[in-house]
Chain A
Amino acid sequence: MSQIIQDSRAVSMLECMMLIRAYEEKITALQAAAGGAGTCTSVGQEASAVGVVRALSTDDRILTNHRSAGHLLARGADPGRLFAEVMGRSTGYCKGKSGSLHISAKELGVLLTSTIVGGELSLATGVALSMSMLKQPGIVACFFGDGAACEGIFHESLNLASVWKLPILYVCENNQWQAYVHRKETMIGDHVSAWAKNYGMESRTVDGNDVEAVHAATREAIARIHETGKPYLLETYTYRLRGHFEPDDQAYVAADELAQWRERDPIAQMQQKLIARGEISPSDIAQMEARVAKTIAQAAEFALNSPFPAASELTTDVYA
């Protein structure tokens, strides 16, 4: 059983980001080699996932979406069981019934993933209502993107959460892309955080490619939720470096924009920062890379050796 990791040290957060990147690269490589279900990766958004999730306590609950691998791995999910899930094996977190798009892991507090964009926003209020009425400690962290923020359910969710004073940390990962459409085509203004004001909600935009900044902002946001008893919207401003749904040649992406954001790769930035601060050396990074590569190789091996579900599983778990 994997453990929930809450290690806030910069070095640990860096290694977790590297693990997420390696996981995503491996799953896309496996797909390219052997076919199988596509995935929506979170490459480029690792700082957002790790910075937020590492600030959560074990009491807190997470609702995520189709781009969830980073959130799950940051929470301590076993990459082997994640690979297995994506590859439709019975050892996956959801017995192979989810695929990559809606993985949840109740044991880790990662609940109710929705791949209908915005679906998680409608469920979050209910989870927070349960926690509040059943007097459970903790908050709900709900991850969504700028695409979901342009939907009605975003506004319905923020409004109700404010009216009912629900302990929700809304995390908008503004990755500039709404499936195959650039945010600038479909959204007024640059920032979703500004919209929270009309719902009487505190909010903030943070550099989503700086894991330490995200982490600090999340800790502050959670403290405010506990202080005020009200929801909070945190926008992590970041970029989706790979396509919407693998395989994706990104032919629709402006080359100069992509190049600019690659320059700001959250992992490379963090490595340089920690070397400059003298906290790690290039050889430490090489060691971390080796560790991560070994973990991912073993995880992929586990998944590839795992059985597919029996056909009889087709109609199990439909009804309680």
Chain B
Amino acid sequence: MSQITVNEAITQALAEEMRRDPRVLMFGEGVATKRQDLLAEFGGQRVRNTPLAEGIIAGTAAGAAATGLRPVVDLLFAPFLCFAMDEIVNSAGKLRYISGGQFAFPMVVIAMTGSGWTVGAQHNHNLEAWFVHSPGLKVVMPSNAADFKGLLKSAIRDDNPVLFFVDMALGHVPGEVQDDEQLVPLGRAAIAREGKDVTIISYAKMVNTCLEAAEQLAEQGISAEVIDLRSLKPLDEEAILRSARKTGRVLIVHEASRMCGVGAEVSAIITEHAFDALKAPIIRLTGPDAPAPSSYMLEQAFMPQPDAVVVSVAKLMGPIALRGHAREAVNA
């Protein structure tokens, strides 16, 4: 067991997979400059810098994936995916189906997302739902170093195009990672904390926010179960429903804006399949329908905070005795 950061976990996953499979290669804007270790070990053929042109990067990945390579591309910041939508959505996502199954697209697209670095809206946009909504793609958004490593390795081995979102604020967060190979399968959620009174469903760095809130709730005598979705497509419906049925109260937390977000889907799944188990209406706590601001204070307000999670849980629990500032917040 080692303590490594999320960024180190990503590098380890890349190196291990490139070592294991000579068909894996990586390219993107500054990839060879920023990942000197990979360049030194695997050479300039397999670790390549590209022009600042996301369309051709993603298209090249799709063409290469369909014909025998397993590319990983780094498109830097999630909003830049707008330039690569045609290649990712229309080509990689659709050409398997359109061709009657003649081709597969084993490729991974890495992009940074999320608030916390005050980079503003053109570098910070949580647009995972766009890709969840597109057939043929898979979408992964981990919350901790072990999952980053295990899910990236699985994504590279998957025969489908996988969007791998790296929440920017998590990059330097350390975590325990097993020294031996630990693959984390796509499509399986994790119980980040067991509880019995309320279920909090989240993903990416908001999982940590929810865990912090769960600590506060525990002090109030409320036992919160925190589910980390990890993979948004395929989505672990069973884990969602199991926990919803167990507690009967569900809060969904994500930083992306509410309308047509992943939370809407999770809420609908529970309503369709576990309505009878619900003791209160499902609540969503999300970012606003606004571009992400750069100002540090506004950016903090953009992200759901632990206090807001506590308040939302209190609403779900009904008129219960909360102590201190949590109660004031509910009454406010």
Contacts and interface: CB of A to CB of B under 8 A. Distances in A.
A130 B160 CA distance: 17
Interface stretch (B53-61, B165-173, B175-183, B306-314): B53-61
A129 B53 CA distance: 17
Interface in B72-100: 86-87, 90-91, 95-100
Contacts of A159: 51, 53, 56
Nearest to B137: A319
A160 interface: yes
Interface in A122-164: 122-131, 133-134, 152-153, 156-157, 159-160, 163-164
Contacts of B90: 114, 116, 119
Interface stretch (A93-101, A189-197, A258-266): A93-101
Contact of B101 (A102, A152, A316): A316
Most interface-central of A123, A125, A127, A320 (chain B CB within 10 A): A123
Contact of B63 (A98, A102, A129, A164): A129
Contacts, number: 144
Interface stretch (B103-111, B269-277, B292-300, B320-328): B103-111
Given A133-B45, A318-B97, A156 B66 contact: no
Contacts of A124: 63
Contacts of A119: 59, 86-87, 90-91
Given A119-B86, A153-B56, A320-B160, A126 B98 contact: no
B64 interface: yes
Interface in A30-66: 61, 63
Contacts of A303: none
B159 interface: yes
A18 interface: no
Contact of A94 (B71, B99, B136): B99
Nearest to B65: A126
A97 B56 contact: no
Interface in B197-212: none
B67 A122 contact: no
Nearest to A125: B60
B45 A94 contact: no
B59 A126 contact: yes
B25 interface: yes
B1 to A, nearest CB: 34
Interface in A81-129: 92-98, 102, 104-106, 111-112, 114, 116, 119, 121-129
Nearest to A121: B59
A317 interface: yes
A232 B98 CA distance: 29
A102 B159 contact: no
B3 interface: no
B205 to A, nearest CB: 28
A160 B56 contact: yes
Most interface-central of A126, A127, A134 (chain B CB within 10 A): A126
A202 B24 CA distance: 32
Contacts of B67: 61, 111, 126-127, 130-131
Contacts of B91: 112, 114, 116, 119, 122-123
B167 to A, nearest CB: 25
A144 to B, nearest CB: 13
A124 B63 CA distance: 6
Nearest to A152: B55
B50 interface: yes
Nearest to A132: B45
B281 interface: no
A97 B91 CA distance: 15
A9 B143 CA distance: 63
8 contacts: A94-B100, A97-B97, A104-B103, A116-B91, A119-B91, A127-B67, A133-B25, A157-B56
- 10 nearest A-B residue pairs (beta carbon): A126-B63, A122-B59, A95-B100, A320-B159, A317-B101, A123-B63, A126-B64, A156-B56, A94-B100, A320-B104
Given A114-B91, A126-B69, A163-B51, 5 more contacts: A94-B102, A122-B87, A127-B66, A130-B69, A159-B51
